[in-house]
Amino acid sequence: MTETAAAEPFVLDNSYARLPGEFHARAMPTAVAAARLLRVNRPLAEQLGLDVQALESPAGVDILAGNRVPKGAEPLAMAYAGHQFGNFSPVLGDGRAVLLGEMTDRNGVRRDIQLKGAGPTPFSSRGDGRAALGPVIREYVVSEGMAALGIPTTRALAMVATGESVRRRRAEPGGVLTRVAASHVRVGTFEYFYRQGHNEAVRALADYVIERHYPHVADADNPYHALLEEVAAHTADLIAQWLLVGFIHGVMNTDNVSIAGETIDYGPCAFMDSYNPATVYSSIDHGGRYAYNRQPGIGQWNLARFAECLLPLLDEDQEKAVEQAQAVLERYVERFETTYHDGLAAKIGLEERREGDADLAYDLLKRMTEQGADFTLTFRHLSDLGRAADDRDDNVRALFDDPSGFDGWAVRWRERLADETRDDAERRAAMRAVNPAYIPRNHRIQQAIDAAEAGDYQPLDDLLTVVANPYDDHPELAEYARPPKPEEVVERTFCGT
Ligand code: AMP
Ligand code: MG
C-alpha cells in the first residue's frame, strides 16, 4: 500500500504562546474515547481557508476531538481572573478550553482556534475540564445565529461527541466545541495582572491587543487611552445590538467580556420570546444582575473594571488618569444610546430621525410588555404593514393580549410615517432586513438538544437552517418562527459547566 499524504487540516501559529510565561500554562488536549463528528461549519471553514474534506477526514476529526494536535499548535490554557456576579476571583483561567493556536483567515484576520471541553488544564481546579453535549449544541446554534444576525461573536467551527459521559446534574453525553474568536483576551485577563500589581504585564497585554485588534490606535497621542475608547465603543455597540434582537447573555462576568468586542462564552443565554425588560433566564442569576435591561449598565460596570487596569498607563498623575477614564465611561452611555435608538428607529421603519422617535419606539415596547407581545414577531409582522391600516394589522394585533393595545400605537406610528420620504415598498424591505423572522428560540434549542441526545439530528439541522438565514422566509420551516406554546416555554437555562 502506498501512503498518500493527506492534506494537513490545520496549520497554526501561536502568538499568545510567545507572550511571557505568566500569561498562560501549557495544556495538551486529553484524548476522548470515541470521537464522532456531529457537524462542521462549512461556510466558516471556507472563510478560514480550511480544506473541508481534510477537516471531515479521520485525521481532521482527531484534531477536533483533541486526540491529536495540528501542525504548529502550541496548546495552552490562558490565564485570567474575573469579577463573577460582582465578586473578584483572582485566578480563573481556561479550565476546560485549550487554545490550539491561531490562523489567518481569507480577510487577513488572525483568529484563535480553541477546543472547548478538551480536558483538564492547570486552571481546572475541581472541574473535569469537559463540556456536556447540550451546552455545546447551544453554543453552536446561538453563536451561529448571532453571526447571521450580524452581531459580533465568536464562531463555532465544529462539534464532536466524545463517546464519554460527563457528570452534571445527571450523567450527560460529552462534547467538544471548536471555537473561533478574534481572540480570547477578556477584561479578566487584564484584571489578572493588574490585581497582582504587575503593571508591566498589563502594558504587554495592552500592546498585544492594540497590535492585534486596534492597530490604528498605536499612532494616537496616548494609545492606551485610545484603546479604552475603542473597547468602550465596541462594547456599547455590541450590547445595543443584543437588546435589538432580544438577547440575554446571562453571565456578563468580566471574565466573559471580550476585549475585541465579540459576544463570548455562551452559557445560560437565551433570546426573549414575549417582551419583558426584566427577563432573566439563567438558573444561577438569582438577583437578576444580568437581566435583559441591566445589560447596558453592567457593560459600563465591566468597562470600569477594564479602565481601572489601564489607569497606571493612562497618566502618571492618577487623578488625571481617573478623569480620563470617567470621561470614556460617560461617552459609553452616549454611544450605547445612539446605537440603540438608531436601531429602534430602523426597527419601526424610520429612516430620517426626528425628535420623539425614541419615545415612539419606547411606547411600543411598553405596550408589548403590558400585553405580552412576542418581541421578534411584533417587529417582523410590523414590517409588512402599510401606511393605511388594513387586515395585515391583524398579524401584529394577534400578538397582543388585548389587540387594542397595538391600535393606539399604530395611529401614532402612521402619523410619523407620513413624514418619511421612502415609499412603502422600500421601507418594508428595509424593515425586513433588520427585523429577523427567526431567532434561536429557547424551546427549539431544547428540542434540538433532546432529539440529538436521542440520535435524531433533524431538528438541529432544521434549526440551524433557519437561524443561519434569519431574515429570509422559510415556508417549509415556518414553525420555527412561532413562539413557544405554554407547555413548551423554557423558563430557566443552565450553564451546564
Ligand atoms: P464560565 O462560567 O463557563 O465562564 O466559567 C468560569 C470559570 O470556570 C472558567 O475559569 C472556566 O474555565 C471554569 N470552568 C467551567 N466549567 C469547567 C469545567 N467543567 N472544568 C474545569 N473548569 C471549568
Ligand atoms: Mg467563561
Write the pLDDT tens digit of every residue in 306-347.
999 999 999 999 999 999 999 999 999 999 999 999 999 999
Structural domain count of the chain: 2
With the most atoms of ligand 1 within 8 angstroms of its CB, the residue from 88, 94, 96, 125 to mutate is 96
| 263 falls within a domain | no
Give me ligand 2 centre to Cα 74, in Å. 21
Cell of 328: 470614556
| 64 falls within a domain | yes
Cell of 201: 504585564
Q: Which residues contact 108 (CB under 8 A, 6 or more apart)?
A: none
In angstroms, rounded to a whole number, what is the distance separating the alpha carbons of residues 98 and 30?
Answer: 10
| 384 falls within a domain | yes
pLDDT tens for residues 28-61?
999 999 999 999 999 999 999 999 999 999 999 9
Cα atoms in the 13 Å half-sphere on the side-chain side of 348: 26
| 427 falls within a domain | yes
- Domain end (from 183, 217, 250): 183
Cβ–ligand 1 contact at 58 (below 6 Å): no
In angstroms, rounded to a whole number, what is the distance separating the alpha carbons of residues 409 and 164?
Answer: 54
Give me ligand 1 centre to Cα 95, in Å. 5
Give me ligand 1 centre to Cα 497, in Å. 6
| 62 falls within a domain | yes
H helix runs in 128-186, sequence order: 133-148
Beta strands in 107-170 (DSSP E): 110-116, 131-132, 155-167
Atom of ligand 1 nearest to the CA of 97: 12
Cβ–ligand 1 contact at 444 (below 6 Å): no
Cβ–ligand 1 contact at 495 (below 6 Å): yes
pLDDT tens for residues 404-457?
999 999 999 999 999 999 999 999 999 999 999 999 999 999 999 999 999 999
Give me ligand 1 centre to Cα 437, in Å. 34
Catalytic residue check, 419: no
| 11 falls within a domain | no
**What is the secondary structure of 183-208 as a DSSP string?**
---BHHHHHHHHTTT-HHHHHHHHHH
Cα–Cα nearest to 272, from 366, 346, 349, 373 = 373
| 388 falls within a domain | yes
Cα–Cα nearest to 266, from 123, 122, 117 = 117
Cβ–ligand 1 contact at 254 (below 6 Å): no
- Domain end (from 432, 450, 467): 432
In angstroms, rounded to a whole number, what is the distance separating the alpha carbons of residues 95 and 381?
Answer: 44
Cell of 404: 387594542
Please give the backbone phi and psi of residue 464, each rounded to the nearest 5 degrees, phi first. -65, -35
- Domain end (from 154, 183, 212): 183
**What is the secondary structure of 47-102 as a DSSP string?**
HTT--HHHHHSHHHHHHHHTSSPPBT---EEE---EEETTEEES----SSEEEEEE
- Residue 81 lies in domain: 16-183
| 207 falls within a domain | no
DSSP element (H, E) containing 452: helix 442-453
Cβ–ligand 1 contact at 121 (below 6 Å): no
Could you tell me the pTM of the whole model? 0.97
